[in-house]
Amino acid sequence: SSMSSITEVSLRSAPFDCFSSLIGSGGVREIAELAKRASGQLHGRTWWHINSTSRGGGVAEMLQSQLAYARGLGIHTRWLVLGGRADFFKITKRMHHAFHGALGDGSDLGEKERIIYEATLKENIPQLLVLIKPGDIVLLHDPQSAGLAPALVKHGATVLWRSHIGADVVNEHTDLAWDFVGPYLRHVFATVFSRKEYIPEFLKSQRSFVITPSIDAFSPKNQDMDEKTVKSILVHTGLIRGEATAEVLPHFTREDGTPALVTSKADIVREGAGPGWETPLIVQVSRWDPLKDPVGVIRGFVNLILRVVSVDAHLALVGPDVTSVADDPEGRAVLDSVIGAWKLLPSPIRQRIHLVSLPMEDREENAAIVNAIQRHAAIIVQKSLKEGFGLTVTEAMWKGRPVVASAVGGIQDQIVHGQHGLLLTDPHDELAFSEALEKLSHDQCLATQLGVQATERVRDLFLASYHLKQYARVLDAIDS
């Protein structure tokens, strides 16, 4: 097997001024000041980010846009992705589940696993030590990269570790995860978590920060899109039935500002034709991961249409092409189990459920398709069993969609029940889930109101601008 190696993701520099349309020129000035101070503190040192995938999932999504704005603000930042083989990612996915307080595949996280984990990271280290200079600042993201900390600290870098996941309550799984990762964090400068509830007891004596994840309002994923374009993209990709018209092409704007077309098709498991434009579509967008409970979403939807005959909605479960997400080896098996559950349904019900895998070759095109799907959705659901912080929830809220989501993890900070969406106290309660869908299907007023308030909530708390402000405070704490 080949050696694991580091790849650098090339980053643009994005102008931060455009945020004035969202947060006012005062808000932009304040952040520009903070960033200027932070870049002064850096004294020519580089601020590195290291994670384990450049696409698919929330972390890659955020790094892509935020680091571009950070550069636009004059902060010298670069992004590296570590390499690993299947055995490494099996272990890190197991860790991911454990940090969520979940069993995952139940495999051990013991000395045998530690040997594979450390051996993989060790293959990455020589390259890192060439790129990263003593004195540089390194932010390691998530458990995959945590084990790099000791070598980088020894090298003279200021190392921070950020966990994008966490559990509401500690249990034997989180203990296992922390036993594995804890030893690597002894000499880091600080840790960063998405909620204060995620900071484990043993780290409370060390410096830590809470930073709320955010979305980029100008990215292909969230940029404004008129209804005709939405329709054109959905028809082109095959998600909805309809005539492709020359009237409006399936277009979007790339991150560098250039116009582009959606040319790929989605890979859809379905029976019969797609839903029409007028058919209300209930949507969940997620990686194919058991913690997103795709089969539970199907069961809740089936419950809805069996109980409430007047509902004519369809359901779309939307995820990335399973071969594409480097650090998520479970995708194929989960999608197969979803297809298995779907096949067991009676045909009339099956015809109303669409299992959509989106092309991932072009990350920005993929994002534009997700954007169109989210804007078209009558209701967006996120029935996660665990969730560090659900970016898909924020994305839906920003688009003014009514959201039904589990009251787990960060989602509890994102939505106040009844104000910015509907929360499910028990994520396993499929009847309550279907009742929330019924309520929103019948009460257009409520659906609209929740959507409007959701957009405002995101403007206040969950945009990249606010995120950068919090990062600037972290950099500020590092001695010059």
By CB under 6 A, name the binding residues for ligand UDP.
Answer: 57-58, 61, 221, 285, 287, 318-320, 358, 366-367, 370, 390-392, 395
Residue with smaller CB distance to ligand UDP, 66 or 366:
366
CB atoms within 10 A of CB 114: 14
Residue 183 DSSP code: G
Minimum gap (Å) between residue 248 Cβ and ligand UDP: 23
Min CB(165)–ligand UDP separation in Å? 8
CB of 53 to ligand UDP, least distance (A): 10
Dist. CA 57–CA 53, nearest whole Å = 9
Cβ of residue 97: shortest distance to ligand UDP, in angstroms?
Answer: 11
Residue 192 beta carbon to ligand UDP: minimum distance, rounded to whole angstroms: 16
SS3 64: helix
- Dihedral of CA 443/315/410/364: which sign? negative
Closest to ligand UDP by CB, 132 or 408: 408
Q: How many residues does the chain have?
A: 480
Contacts with 130 (C-beta within 8 Å, 6 or more apart), sequence order = none
- Residue with smaller CB distance to ligand UDP, 45 or 354: 354
Smallest gap from residue 395 Cβ to ligand UDP (A): 6
Give the 3-state DSSP-derived string for 88-142, with helices as H, strands as E and coil as C: HHHHHHHHHHHHCCCCCCCCCCCHHHHHHHHHHHHHHHHHHHHHCCCCCEEEEEH
Q: Least distance (Å) from ligand UDP to the CB of residue 106?
A: 20
Side-chain-side CA neighbours of 353 within 13 Å: the count stands at: 26
Residue 398: both structure tokens together: 């920003």
Q: Is 405 helix (H, G, I), strand (E, B) or coil?
A: strand
Our CB check for ligand UDP shows the closer of 124 and 284 to be 284
Both tokens assigned to 269: 């498991």
3-state secondary structure of 281: strand
Strand order of the sheet with strand 379-382? 267-269, 353-358, 314-320, 281-285, 379-382, 403-406, 422-424
CB of 372 to ligand UDP, least distance (A): 12
The residue among 113 and 216 lying less far from ligand UDP, judged by its C-beta, is 216
Sheet containing strand 7-9, edge to edge, reads 7-9, 77-81, 47-51, 137-141, 158-163, 190-193, 208-210
Nearest to ligand UDP of 84, 320 (CB atom):
320
**Which of 390, 427 has the CB closer to ligand UDP?**
390
Residue nearer to ligand UDP on the CB measure, 57 or 104: 57
Residue nearest to ligand UDP (CB): 58
